[in-house]
Amino acid sequence: MRRVNAPGSLETLRRRNRGLVLHAVQAGGATSRVDIVRATGLSRTTVSSLVNELLADGLLAEGTDRVGGPSPHQTGRPPTRLTLEPSGGAVLGIHLRHDGIRLALADLAGSVLAEVLVDLDVDHHADAALTYVEETTNELLAEAGLARERLLGAGVAVSSPVPTRPRHGPALLTTWHDIDVAAALGERLGVPVQVGNDANLGATAERFFGAARTTRNLVYVMLAEGVGAGLFLDGRPYHGAKGVAGEFGHVVVAPGGRVCRCGNRGCLETVAGADALAAALPTRADGRTPDLDDVLEACRAGDPGAVRIVADAGRAVGTALAGVCTMLDPDLVVIGGRTAAAGAPLMGGIVETLQRGVPPSDESLVPVIAGELGSRAEVLGAVALAIARSPLAVPVLV
C-alpha cells in the first residue's frame, strides 16, 4: 500500500523546513548556517542537517570565500558562504498573455538563462500556443546548453483567475474552456507544471526580486491587455476563499459604461485596458488601427491626446484603488504591466484620485511606485512558482 504523508507528519515538517532554508538562502543571496538559524528560527542541529542534505542533493553550494571576512576575536574555522546551486537544474517560466507568449528558462537561483517573446493571439489559438511553448522550450534548452532531463518543472502565468476548485481552462480566454493547462503542458514538456494568475505572480516577482522586497502588505496592479491585481498581506500571498481574489479589472468604475468581456458594464478594464486606450486614439495615417504600443509611444512623445487618455485611465485606476487601500491598509502599491511604461501621466492620475479617495490623514497616504521588473514581472513570477514547486524544493510563500 502506498504511504501518504499526513499534513502533520515528520516528513511534511522536514520538507517545509527544507523550503525555509532554501528561501532564507535565496532571500539573502549568500549566507552562513548561523544566518539561516537566525532567519528561520530553526535549531542549529536542524539547520546543519538540512544544509548537508541540500548540499548532497545539489540544491546548495558551499563557497570557498568567507562570510564577512575574518574577525580578530574569532577562533576556529570561519563560516563558509552558502548559495543556491544554479546547476542543480532548470525551470521554465511561461506567461500566456492575451496577445503573446513570453518564455524564460532559469536556473534554480532564478537567474534567466534564455528568454523569448512572441506575438500570438493566445485567446483564440490555444493549440498553436501550446505547440509554440513545446517547440520553443527545446530551443531555449539548446541555447542554454542544457539537456532535456535538466528541466525540473514549469510555471505558467495565465491572464485569468485560477480558482482553487478544479476546473479546466482559463474562463476568460476564448478557446481554453476545455483545456487543463497544467495537464496539457505537462504532457508536452514531460515535467510537473504549475499554473497561477499572472497578476498574482507579478506580485510575487516584485515582492521577491523587485520593487517590494521589504514590503509585507502589498497591492500590485498589472495594467496591460487586461487589468489585474496581486495581494500580499502580512508577508503572505492572499488569493481569497476560492482563489480568485485580485480581479481588479472587473471592479465597476463607470456604471452604465461599455460592456466588458465579463458581461458587466463599466469595468475598470473597459477604461484602462489596452484595447480601451488604443480605441481612444485616432486611426493612424497609414490606416492601421492603433495598439497599446502606439499609445505608449505617443504618450512618451508628449502627444496631448495620448497623455490625456493615459491620465484618465490612471484616475480610474486610482478610484478603484481607493477602496482597496481603505479596506486593506497596504504598505505599498506597485504599478506593473506593459502600460506602466507610460510613466508620469499614468502615475500622476493614479495618485491624484487615490489621495482624494482614502480617508484624509497623513498615515493613509499609501506610496505608489512603478515596478522594477516591467512587463517581465509575470514570467519571473512563473519562474518563482516553478522553483518553489519543483520536486526538490518546497513552496514557502508562492
In whole angstroms, give the CA distance from residue 388 to residue 396: 7
Pick 128 or 178 by higher pLDDT: 128
Query: Cα separation of 396 and 376, whole Å?
Result: 22
Task: Name the percent of the chain lying above pLDDT 90.
Answer: 55
Give the lowest-confidence range in 62-76, 123-137, 203-217, 276-290: 62-76
Q: Which CATH architecture has domain 90-202+378-389?
A: 2-Layer Sandwich (3.30)
pLDDT surpasses 60 at 72: no
Q: pLDDT value at position 329?
A: 92
CA 82, CA 349: separation in Å to the nearest integer? 45
According to the model, what pLDDT value does residue 29 have?
Answer: 63
CA 186 to chain centre: 20
pLDDT > 80? residue 299: yes
- Give per-residue pLDDT as tens, 151-201: 989 999 998 777 655 454 555 456 677 788 999 999 999 999 999 999 999
Quick one: the chain helix, strand, coil %, rounded to 5?
45, 20, 35
Please tell me the least confidently modeled range out of 103-107, 236-240, 361-365, 380-384.
361-365
Task: With a cut of 50, say whether residue 74 has pLDDT above it.
Answer: no
As annotated, the residues of the chain forming the CATH 1.10.10.10 domain(s) are 10-68+77-84
Q: For 314-336, what is each residue's pLDDT tens digit?
A: 999 999 999 999 999 999 999 99
pLDDT per residue as tens digits for the range 196-224: 999 999 999 999 889 998 899 999 999 99
Region of residue 133 (left: phi > 0; alpha: psi -120 to 50; beta: else): alpha
pLDDT of 8 above 80: no
Q: Provide the percentage of residues in the chain whose pLDDT is more than 70.
A: 85
- Report domain 212-371's class: alpha beta
The highest-level CATH class for domain 10-68+77-84 is mainly alpha
pLDDT digits (tens, 9 = 90+) for 247-259: 999 999 999 999 9
Mean of the per-residue pLDDT values of the chain: 85
Residue 4 has pLDDT above 50, yes or no: no
pLDDT at 69 over 50: no
For the whole prediction, is pTM greater than 0.85?
Answer: no
Question: Which amino acid, 10?
Answer: L
Which residue, chain included where needed, has cell 521589504?
214
Q: Is residue 76 predicted with pLDDT exceeding 60?
A: no
**Is 199:72 a contact under the CB 8 Å cutoff?**
no
Domain with CATH 3.30.420.40 in the chain: 90-202+378-389, 212-371
